[in-house]
Structure 1
Amino acid sequence: MTADLDFEGWTCPVPLRDTPTVVMGHGGGGAMSDELVRHLFLPAYGPFASGDSAVVPVGASRIAFSTDSYVVKPMFFPGGSIGDLAVNGTVNDLAMSGATPLYLSIAFILEEGTELATVGRIAAAVGAAAQAAGVRVVTGDTKVVDNGSGDGVFLNTAGVGVVPDGVEIGPHRAAPGDAVLISGDIGVHGVAVMSVREGLEFATGVASDTAPLHALVGAMLATGADVHVLRDPTRGGVSASLNEIARTAGVGVELTERDLPIPAGVADACSLLGLDPLQVANEGKLLAFVPPGAAGEVLAAMLAHPLGAGARRIGTCVAEHPGMVVARTALGGSRVVSMPIGEQLPRIC
């Protein structure tokens, strides 16, 4: 029977890791993105800080600096648009280092033929989101590419913020015993975007969680707790973020599966599409690693804030199985929560 099979033209549904060309999986925030950075960019640039933003000294102060690009499709989705997503995403990258965001730059890359009314809606969303977050857009740029060379509007941002004295937050600080906290429901942004994709429409009632998180972080730091790690689980979702932290700190992470806040709409959509909710992007949630003695106070501060009203503890940092994330199931077993390889949901941020 094998002799009758024609293997010519067969394709693998998962992009090959050893590929000589760029594939969509390289932008997914998973293992392929990590390999691209470690094996191509780092040797070219030299080492730079890992995490959502870099913290660098400027005189007697420390500033956080971050850059990001946004290519979400569609540009407008339930709960937001590429404009407010760009502002909130950059603000959150700064906030994950404990910084108070201050200034942003934004560049518009426009495809020839895009309606100016669409560009105006996005620009208005940028301005409104910046005002709501209390940051200023102080510089920018505009480029136009040939029709067919882009996809409407792409945005590139950079952000600057100030890190308070005594605050040191980074993935390397995760330590055995730390409580792992999350600020609310998982996977809603990715599902909201997918709900309006052509050919994939389904009634989920899920809206994007895009929001600026620096005020929530400020409330957490105001407790006086020595917060070790903060991360907003965007591309690659909770799975990618936890695996990156575990590998960087050389620790393990154990999750309690029944404590994971996965809303019914997200669970149903992921079941329909064959996706893992832990690998679906979020845009208004954060993960925190907090010393066990401070976990209760930090969690209370999160619950008292509107953007942390759904906060809960989902796991513990452990010394066992360093670099690995596992989930304890309701039946008493365990499963490995792996780093996504490529991109489950392309063009979601």
Structure 2
Amino acid sequence: MNPPIPVLTAPRRNLPKAVTLAHGGGGSAMRDLIDEVFIETFKGTKGAPEDQARFDLAALMAQGDRLAFTTDGFVVDPLFFPGGDIGKLAVCGTINDLAVGGARPVALSCAVIIEEGLALDTLRAVARSMAETAGAAGVPIVTGDTKVVARGACDKLFITTTGIGVVRTGVEVGIARARPGDVVLVNGQLGDHGAAILNARGDLALESDIASDCAALHGLIDRLIDAAPGVRMMRDATRGGVAAVLNELAAASGVGVRLRESDTPIRADVQGFCEILGLDPLYLANEGKIVAVVPPEQEGAALQALRAHPLGGGAAAIGRITDTRPGRVVMETRFGGERIVDMLVGDQLPRIC
């Protein structure tokens, strides 16, 4: 059974219980919806509403020497799941995409596509979740857009978030920077989000307490960079999981990656879930886990910094970069053998983010 949708207080305006096409028509109905559900909830803009947010360039330049910019769409099904919802996912996902590039997130935008008939309580719950997540992260939502489409033209609610951040001076990370001898780190157990979403859909009738690891990771990444300034690469292991990230790394850097199954942190219930369904946890999505590659001399400092953060208590070194079998990711199994960890052609689980 899917988690219950949070119920909020009654609307302040005389809005219907569900979204109608009129709410996307540009008139007073649309203005009422935007004012109550988004502007009042986000409180990210001041003064008269404009079609854009504006930033002081001098203030941005004081934080670093480059601007980072990213955008992402979210179509997760169901909208609410253990450990999060589409709103929290949209905010955390965009913050993390900025942070793994070495940027400190500054601000977000939010564009929503709403299916006619979506309950207003559902939309309010998602907006409030976004506001709470952005507020806790210290990254405001400052502008956005609202569209309403006819029934069947989308599935309840789609969200696109865009973010800007500032890359601090001297930080250089990238997918093509790995070198033989470097160490591959993760900040905790893998596969939680993918398993939580599949279980929340209720098709399998499996009883499990698996919750998504959805979280904003910029604070954790700040500590990692401070402790290991030579960090080569960071990626959040979302669709395609750790396997996809490491295959992209191997191809871009022209190196091999050798993993150790015995050192790869996976919860017993996630492992069991995967065994029942014939899935590989290395390919399951994560929304609160990064893959980082650091020089060998900075491994200890990096692990110590990750483990000292609430989102990195399960951090582990799971493998090394090698100069053999370039472009390949190889797993040393618990039984002393080897297997190739290849890139999937498609996705094990569609619509997990």
CA-CA distance at 1:61 after TM superposition? 2.1
Cα pair 2:231 2:294 within 8 Å, conserved: yes
Matched, 1:71 2:75: yes
Match of 1:43 in 2: none
For residues 62 and 98 of structure 1, the distance between their equivalents in structure 2, rounded to whole angstroms, comes to 10
Q: Structure 1: how far apart are the matches of 2:343 and 2:136?
A: 34
Matched with 1:180 is 184
| Residues 258-312 of structure 1: CA deviation (Å, up to 9, x unaligned) | 1111111111111121111000000000111000000111111001111000001
Q: Does structure 2 conserve the Cα–Cα contact (< 8 Å) formed by 1:204 and 1:266? A: no
Matched with 1:167 is 171
CA shift, 1:205, in A, is 1.1
Residue matched to 2:248: 244
2:214 maps to amino acid: T
Which of 326, 346, 350 does residue 346 from structure 1 map onto?
A: 350
Alignment of 1:145 with 2:139, yes or no, is: no
Cα distance, 1:96 vs structure 2: 0.3
| Distance in 1 between residues matched to 2:143 and 2:162, nearest whole Å | 10
Amino acid at match of 2:107: Y
Q: 2:37 aligns to what?
A: none
| Aligned residues: CA RMSD | 1.1
1:189 and 2:222 matched: no
1:100 partner amino acid: R
**Unmatched runs of 5 consecutive residues or more in structure 1:** 1-57
Query: C-alpha distance in 2, partners of 1:332/1:159?
Result: 44
Residue 65 of structure 2: aligned partner? 61
Report the AA paired with residue 269 of structure 1. Answer: F
Name the aligned partner's letter for residue 206 of structure 1.
Answer: I
Residue in 2 aligned with 1:107?
111
Contact 2:175 2:233 in 1 (8 A): yes
Match of 2:282 in 1: 278
Q: 1:120 maps to which residue? A: 124
Deviation string 1:139-192 (CA, Å, 9 cap, x unpaired) is 000001110111101000100001000000111111111000000000000111
Aligned partner of 2:86 in structure 1 is 82
Give the percent of matched residue pairs that are identical in Structure 1 and Structure 2.
52
1:324 match: 328
Which amino acid counterpart does residue 247 of structure 2 have in structure 1? N
Question: 1:144 and 1:198 mapped to 2: Cα distance?
Answer: 28
Pair 1:217 & 2:221 matched: yes
| 1:213-272 superposed Cα distances (whole Å, 9 cap, x missing partner) | 010010111125310000110000010011011101111100001111111111111112
Q: What secondary structure does 1:314 align onto?
A: strand
Instruction: Tell me the secondary structure at the aligned position of residue 346 of structure 1.
Output: coil
The TM-score, its normalising length taken from structure 1, stands at 0.82
Structure with max Cα Rg: 2
Instruction: Tell me which amino acid in the other structure corresponds to 2:88.
Output: D
